Structure 1
């Protein structure tokens, strides 16, 4: 009989297996496998790590997948403490399971096991400590949130789910936030940069892409509240005079139609000239709305005003021009004064227009269509424009969602009713004024998603459950709504 030790660096588990000599399936002595402590906890030498014991073959029962690792002690990274901890905890547990089977032959071979684990700990300690995909429950900045017992009971399951999603869907890194009436949870997994292998943190910033449209819509509705804009008035009234003549139907298209994508205007993003321009554009040269809008001047409208829903980013470039013309400032300034400052969103900013705040993840996607992830770090596809220019964190987005949907303090009740007037898109979901009402798998949830610059993001609020979920991924080739749905299933006891 010999001992085989397997270390799974992703799941961070140390598995010990007693195997009959020769490995014959007909041997009377069957292989017995035991799953020891979390390998991460083993390396840390944490005094409170739960041991995943035992697996098939141990009379005490157990399940390696569903039993979480809880680690709240201070880490000790020395090889000596690691070895002592392994000997004290794992072998005690093995002795318990083996009982009378513990014999001299096992003790002899245990020395071999010690040597193996000792070498592995030296090789992997630095890597795992620096890059562990461990749970990051709401930190100091969210310490005021009360996390109930029932929500904490789901924390390990949510973290396990996030870890699995990152690996199975080949996502460099992810952040997920869930808030229910029972409490809140915030977790991170993977890395925020594939080159540096820097571990993803819940506080890392993400370009939220089209989710930024909801912020711009709030600014416009606040201008409506102030009597500076009318929703049903033609946009020619509010656009700069030198731009109005170039926008076909500007005397018929209303502000409302820009907000809910029923204006029928042409798109600028898909034009050959814009695509060519972005290929040469440095990130040191931020795009302006005036520049971007010129790429649709020669394009024919996609439909007559109010005729049908066509999701078009150009609608929100026009809204940016309207906001800047009325406020005589930049859209970044308007968002900061109307939303970010009042709500205390200290980690949200307009990309390339304002100084970077905190650590921001790098976005990735299959740009070359070769099945490989390419970095968007040096790409300037219109970053910072009104159709998708914000960078934010899960915590800031949670505060924004709470103010808009739960406390309802961001807009007046009248403007909120306008925002929630949804039109059927004919594509399985509805769109209001800067808001999506999702269909399956997030039926009846409201919020917004975004895909651009190597990121895919989602903010969804379920009114009936008073539940908010935020998912931020740095691989834009992922179905984020399904990811969010699986997270909600954990909370709703429909998974695990």
Structure 2
């Protein structure tokens, strides 16, 4: 990769930091980002505040909800179980789960493992159910509730309007996959993630909130959510959540809530550095064998992107190449984790503000990662490392 003479390391880093500051100025309370290659961290920084009430600065030790990036962990475990001949992509949900679990959920019984992984089973998402939105994120939310693993399925026990074989993103798919993991292994899905991924990779800042012991509340910033007209209309505001104005943006302070409702569809907390280790391990084939890597990257259309089996590929809308990974958004948090399809560059951006059901918002972790020059700058920074390597050969 050639680097323009108009760019220097310090210039690129200054521009990256400016993107973080711009996001905070637009209304994001705090943001944390990192860029890595296989061998080293190129840049890691933060901007904003972990607590707006006292403007306590965010720092690199804080962890964030990662939302649907959690699904990548489940995809890896499922593919490892396939490697162990404990299930096949063609196996149906009904081969593992009793009917009491999936009864009356449209298209669930014949859904295959492959279609669940690729969001093409035709199963509706509990996250889209209007009643769940109010009770899971809105005015009827009980912040102290620890949701049970089957609770969300009660919202979608009706015929599905979706067509099997056609992409339709649904949290339900991964709720089911988590239950399949538990049936096959006889262990909790969270313990299998820990045994197979977190422990081997030394990911000490990563856990499923509500189902595992955390790393200390002091490491989790306050969690905020955009209180747009769309959010208020769809969800309403939980009376226990104070409203906050930050840089001209209306937010709610959802601190005190938890991500247990998401479970393996999006309930994990982590740090940019931990996520980097995970992404590099996937990309380099350290967690999956070559046949599983082909399954993971068996691409099919998925809206403005492509999906394999649990992994997305998208072309940067700004022309910065193709990237593999996942976005995430839950109550109080947003995140992005991607690696360049060509070259050695991995990026992670996390923020303590949620965007779900909020419609158009001024910024978020995904906005910074995808809709700014962030990916271009990341590749340029990685290019210096490639240039250093080539100069030594």
TM over 0.5: yes
Question: 1 CA distance for matches of 2:41 and 2:192?
Answer: 32
1:292 aligns with 2:152: yes
TM-superposed CA distance for 1:235, in Å, is 1.2
Say yes or no: does 1:490 pair with 2:377: yes
Unaligned stretches of 5+ residues in structure 1: 1-149
Equivalence map 1:385-396=2 (5 Å): 385-396=263-274
* Among candidates 268, 289, 297, match of residue 412 of structure 1: 289
Structure-1 separation of matches of 2:228 and 2:15: 36
- Residue 168 of structure 2 corresponds to 310
Partner of 1:171: 28
Matched residue SS, 2:339: strand
Q: Which moved more, 1:474-483 or 1:210-219?
A: 474-483
2:135 to 270, 274, 277: 277
Q: How far does the alpha carbon of each residue in 1:263-315 deviate from its partner, in whole angstroms, 9 at most, with x for none?
A: 011221232432343344434431122111121112x2132321x10111111
Structure of higher CA gyration radius: 1
Secondary structure at the aligned position of 1:175 is classed as strand
Segment of structure 1 superposing worse, 265-274 or 209-218: 265-274
Query: Structure 2 vs 1, CA of residues 271 and 487 (structure 1 numbering), >3 Å: closer, same or farther?
Result: closer
Shift of 1:173: 0.8
**1:209-242 CA deviation, whole Å, 9 max, x = no partner?**
0111111111111111111111111111012342
Which of 89, 102, 106 is equivalent to 1:231?
89
Whether 2:301 is the aligned partner of 1:424: answer: yes
Q: Is the 8 A contact 1:203 1:395 kept in 2?
A: no
Unaligned segments of structure 2, at least 5 residues? 1-7, 233-248, 355-360, 382-393
CA-to-partner distance for each residue in 1:95-127, whole Å, 9 max, x for gaps?
A: xxxxxxxxxxxxxxxxxxxxxxxxxxxxxxxxx
Secondary structure of the residue aligned to 2:326 is: strand
The answer to whether the 8 Å contact 1:176/1:470 transfers is yes
Q: How does 1:55-94 map to 2 (within 5 A)?
A: none
Work out the CA distance in 1 between the residues paired with 2:107 and 2:30. Answer: 44
**Which whole-Å CA distance do the structure 2 matches of 1:180 and 1:360 have between them?**
26
Going from structure 1 to structure 2, the CA distance change for 1:491 and 1:332 (only over 3 Å counts) comes to: closer
Q: Which residue of 2 aligns with 1:147?
A: none
Residue 216, structure 1, aligned to residue 74, structure 2: yes
Per the alignment, residue 337 of structure 1 pairs with 195
More contact order relative to length (CA 8 Å, sep ≥ 6): 2
List aligned pairs for 1:35-434, cutoff 5 A.
Answer: 151=9, 154-167=12-25, 169-180=26-37, 184-278=42-136, 279-298=139-158, 300-306=159-165, 308-358=166-216, 359-367=219-227, 369=229, 371-380=249-258, 382-405=260-283, 407-425=284-302, 427-434=303-310
Q: CA RMSD in A?
A: 2.4
Q: How many residues align?
A: 341
**TM-score, normalised on structure 1?**
0.64
Shift of 1:383: 3.7
**2-structure distance, mates of 1:156, 1:165:** 14
Alpha-carbon displacement from aligned partner over 1:33-73 (angstroms, at most 9, x marks no partner): xxxxxxxxxxxxxxxxxxxxxxxxxxxxxxxxxxxxxxxxx
